[in-house]
Chains A and B, each alone.
Chain A
Amino acid sequence: MNKKYLRDDIIRMSGVNPKKCMRCGKCSGTCPAYDEMEYHPHQFVSMVENGDIEPLLSSDSLYRCLTCFACAERCPRGVEPAKLIEAVRLTAIRRQGANRLTPSDIPAMLDEDIPQQALVSAFRKYTK
């Protein structure tokens, strides 16, 4: 897929306009998963805008975003980085063989108390 197409597709899927970003970094200043991420919310915004998407697609950062929407809620410019990350993540896991989580991984992750909600959510996030 060419770079421009990928970029436009992600922007369309997310409904986010990265051009509205004023580079304040509040998203990355508030992100609870920052330290676990290779690319941070503000980088998702600028890298998508620049069409620099392949590095994002192969980064574990996609699976560290908690979708807690703190970045979206607090962004002064209404950019909503969380939606952009979601679109990149879906682009990654929709590719063949790219499912992050398979049912066989589950038993190792379970404990007595883990709520069903966690499994359902994880499958939604990590698997197409």
Chain B
Amino acid sequence: MKFSYFPGCTLKNKAKDLDRYALRCAEALGVTLEEIENWQCCGGVFTTAKDEIATKLSSVRILKAAKDKEQPLVTVCSACHNVVKQTNHAILTDKEFSDKVNRYMADDGRYDGSTEVYHYLEMLRDLVGFDALREKVKSPLSGKKIAAYYGCLLLRPGSVMKMDDPENPSIMEDMIRAIGAEPVIFANRNECCGGYVVMESPSLAEKKSGDIVRNAKVQGADMIVTACPLCRYNLMKNGADIPVIYFTELLAEALGVKEDTNE
């Protein structure tokens, strides 16, 4: 299996673990992730305003690059995934938007929305399969009680992201089960951590992230996993006294590729 891979800015800086382990696990699972060449920013956030065109073009170029290679596109960071998937959806469903975008795309060639966009987790579930993953596990994480924190970007808007039931998701819990650990379901797993508002109002992020960590702990978790660097930052910054790690790191541990072998 071969995919185009878009890491995004944070994965090359503050969230190197998210990137590194994603690639190692893919390799262990027999998946080739080909990083898109000369990629630019995803756009950061998807602006829902219909008259915002230019801020979405970089996302369109990512989609177009995958399309040129005739590969499905895989992303890992929740924010990148949200922006790229929403942009693709807008191209498919909003003709006016699609026409406008394609006027800017004249040099690169038309993009028609036909690239399939997978989050890494969706790739695991729908293409690799959790049963196949279970068979590849080298050191099952039995006995660990792990809370999967989704945040908002992976799940919402549900009608566009279509990753899982936005109010009762199971994709990360199923992954946790596949690698031998026990998922802890907690209601705040799809509540916002405070997001970028932490820049202006650290107190809001503190309260929101605090609620999330407390809820996970009271429900019995001894670790939290997430797919989002900003979520992880907010949780860690605001009182998490249990480990908060990227899901790819957890996966790497189970697949036995966490420790550096060649470096």
Contacts and interface: CB of A to CB of B under 8 A. Distances in A.
Direct contact of A and B (CB under 8 A): yes
Interface of A: 12-15, 32-33, 36, 63-64, 66-70, 72-73, 80, 82-83, 86-87, 90, 101, 109, 111, 113-126
18 contacts: A33-B197, A66-B197, A68-B156, A73-B155, A82-B48, A86-B48, A111-B237, A113-B233, A113-B236, A115-B233, A117-B10, A117-B44, A117-B79, A117-B228, A121-B45, A123-B44, A124-B43, A124-B55
Contacts of A63: 197, 200
Contacts, number: 125
Please name the 7 residue pairs, one residue from A and one from B, whose CB atoms are nearest each other, closest first. A68-B192, A120-B44, A69-B156, A121-B196, A68-B152, A115-B229, A115-B14
Contact of A66 (B50, B52, B195, B233): B195
Contact of B51 (A13, A80, A111, A120): A13
Interface string B48-86: 111110010000000000000000000001010000000
B41 interface: yes
Nearest to B212: A32
A113 B45 contact: no
A125 B152 contact: no
A86 B236 CA distance: 28
Given A69-B152, A117-B229, A122 B192 contact: no
B156 A90 contact: no
Contact of B13 (A15, A69, A115): A115
Contacts of B192: 32-33, 66, 68, 70
Contact of A125 (B15, B45, B236): B45
A94 to B, nearest CB: 10
A107 to B, nearest CB: 12
Contacts of B167: 73
B199 A109 contact: yes
Given A36-B204, A117-B230, A124 B47 contact: yes
Contact of B204 (A64, A83, A109): A64
